[in-house]
Structure 1
């Protein structure tokens, strides 16, 4: 008789199928949980820069290049044009006030000088001749006055005598009237002669004064001409060192042409150009410093030039004694302070800020195996540090190199290639 065979519920095939489904589900779950956290990237620590956050003195400053210059420079321009006849000193020589530098010749100026001297001499001769003529004329007039005075005196004597005789009826009336008329005529003649003498004297003085003024003017012009001749010999106006002498014997120099400059030896200054971005933060008295031969020297802004061309130009003077071995034309790396020095949490500058905008940074864990994103807030900066306002504390280590290529990552796994 037939035996009924009962069908098995869990066959080998079903068990294998169930195992396969469970395995696939496990793999999917494992994949999901492994990708649900932050995106990770393996990074070789030797290819990045890890810096430590510190606390210390912070000051805003800008680095600028300054050029050492004399405290004052006097430019030497040709006051009169001419041809270089001789050069009396060498470029770079130390000069004393009034020391000749070079000599020019100008034949036109020399000819004009001769003509003016001749004109002055002619005018002076005319003045002397006029004085002589006027003196002779005055002597003649005085002689005439003396004759008139004598004739008046004689006419008066005769008149008074005839008057007495006429009263005594010794002489006729005709004789008396004649002596009276003669006397009155001599009185009038004396008055006219004296008036003429006074007017001639006044005219003489005026004419002489005018001629003297003309002589004085011509002598003044002659003195000016002599000065122009003296200017053909260029001299040092003050003590200093001659630099940039530009002249050769036989070379023609025009009036006003720059021939050289005189650097005064009583001090030095530093001239620098500053980016006009900082124009509102630069003021007289601002402090700066530079390092020379491992020694720091202080500077102070003395003058700010109002004209802005290719940046803001300033002059700085040394605070205290300048370095003994510093030279004109030397370039100095100056740190110009923009703020006072304060205590702050500092992170070294690096390329990270270009990607993060100062809002976050990769912070390394204590074991140094990972770096994760941390929100921060930065404040002021200088060429060396950023001021950290929030998010970091002294002792923290952060990645400060460029984040190019992994700025979208959530976590960096710091692992050497050899590991």
Structure 2
């Protein structure tokens, strides 16, 4: 008779095996996740340079253009269409030379209307002055007549007084002549006081009228001068440039038709990258190469307004200007930002467009390891090393576009 053997419970064994597998996978994942990310590259694909101690000079190189030292804009004061052109672009002009004539019928009509109105006001003021003078003349005539009557009454009174004292004239007749004299005297005093008050009033009115006439005359003169603004003339002597007006073209008031270059020396103007905005100052010196000779220049003006990532700088020549300069010539300017100093440096390379001066790959025994660094100033040839590298260490300076997430690079031949 067969014996039934009880079946062993293998559940615990299965659980143990599964646990070991899970632990193994977790450990492998942790190892893969924490180990440095490595990339293999060929030596020919990268550029390796040493870290070295050099005389570092902080400077910047940019292109500058020769411009006249001084230029004056030729502005249109009265807007309108171009009716006549008297000179061409590039012509030499003297101060006051007619350049163009602008025509605007509406403005010209307004000028005529204003001129007519001012002349009418001047005429009215002159009529008012004439009326005051006539009034004074009439009062003067009246005063002469009254003084004549007074003098006649005075003579009659004096005569009658003598006759009365000699008892030839009756008292009644005597008193009549005295009353006539009193009347004429009072009449004369009244007209004299009236004339005095009238003169004071007229003097004030004439002063005000004369002031108004002065203003009117000045306004008329200004108006007539403004009519001359239709003729655009050269404000200074020099060479006309940037003059591109066409007959019939409508020009707005305040628009610059061109400019006049005053030919009394030249300067250099340049657009410089905004990175150097806080590094360039007036008075800093540099040099250019012209006809195989080095010529010193100096920063004289900085326009800090940034356009398209650049700002404008003006420079002048130190000492005597080189002969043969012409407007439009361009030169490479080397502008010194600081003197030479012994500094730890690395050659400039495309690596920094990605690294941004925060890290670099240091090469040792065919392996490049990512290392945090701090870079300082720069010139067209070198970066200054502030921290993180030592002299004679080898670094990769070629582009890092493929190394953004890489910690180690294995270099093969």
The two structures have a TM-score, normalised by structure 1, of 0.70
> Which residue of the partner structure matches residue 342 of structure 2?
343
**Residue 211 of structure 2 corresponds to residue 217 of structure 1:** no
Structure number with the higher strand fraction is: 2
Alpha-carbon deviation of 1:309?
Answer: 3.8
> Within 1, Cα distance between the matches of 2:383 and 2:407?
20
RMSD after superposition: 4.0
> Which residue of the partner structure matches residue 80 of structure 1?
78
> Which residue of the partner structure matches residue 273 of structure 1?
272
> Which residue of the partner structure matches residue 145 of structure 2?
147
Aligned to 1:62, the other structure's residue is in SS state strand
> Which residue of the partner structure matches residue 311 of structure 2?
313
When residues 215 and 123 of structure 1 are mapped into structure 2, their CA distance, relative to the original with a 3 A threshold, is same
1:153-199 CA deviation, whole Å, 9 max, x = no partner? Answer: 22223223333433444333211211111010010111122223323
Which of 378, 382, 385 is the matching residue for 2:382? 385
> Within 1, Cα distance between the matches of 2:122 and 2:41?
107
Alpha-carbon deviation of 1:373?
Answer: 7.2
Alpha-carbon deviation of 1:58?
Answer: 1.9
Alpha-carbon deviation of 1:54?
Answer: 6.9
When residues 52 and 294 of structure 1 are mapped into structure 2, their CA distance, relative to the original with a 3 A threshold, is farther
Aligned to 1:255, the other structure's residue is in SS state coil
> Within 1, Cα distance between the matches of 2:42 and 2:126?
109
The two structures have a TM-score, normalised by structure 2, of 0.71
> Within 2, Cα distance between the matches of 1:294 and 1:378?
39
> Which residue of the partner structure matches residue 20 of structure 1?
none
Aligned to 1:248, the other structure's residue is in SS state coil
1:113-151 CA deviation, whole Å, 9 max, x = no partner? Answer: 444444455455555555555545444433332232222
When residues 129 and 298 of structure 1 are mapped into structure 2, their CA distance, relative to the original with a 3 A threshold, is same
5 Å-filtered alignment, 1:183-222, equals 183-222=181-220
Q: Which runs of 5+ in 2 are unaligned?
A: 1-37
1:235-262 CA deviation, whole Å, 9 max, x = no partner? Answer: 1222333222232222232322332223
5 Å-filtered alignment, 1:143-182, equals 143-182=141-180
1:315-347 CA deviation, whole Å, 9 max, x = no partner? Answer: 231232444444434444333333221234655
> Which residue of the partner structure matches residue 327 of structure 2?
328
> Within 2, Cα distance between the matches of 1:293 and 1:96?
33
Alpha-carbon deviation of 1:99?
Answer: 1.8
> Within 1, Cα distance between the matches of 2:171 and 2:41?
159
Q: Which runs of 5+ in 1 are unaligned?
A: 1-38, 363-369, 414-419
The higher radius of gyration belongs to: 1
When residues 250 and 316 of structure 1 are mapped into structure 2, their CA distance, relative to the original with a 3 A threshold, is closer
Contact 1:303 1:316 in 2 (8 A): yes
Contact 2:64 2:268 in 1 (8 A): no
Aligned to 1:281, the other structure's residue is in SS state coil
When residues 253 and 379 of structure 1 are mapped into structure 2, their CA distance, relative to the original with a 3 A threshold, is closer
Aligned to 2:243, the other structure's residue is in SS state coil
> Within 2, Cα distance between the matches of 1:200 and 1:378?
94
In the alignment of these two chains, the number of paired residues is 363
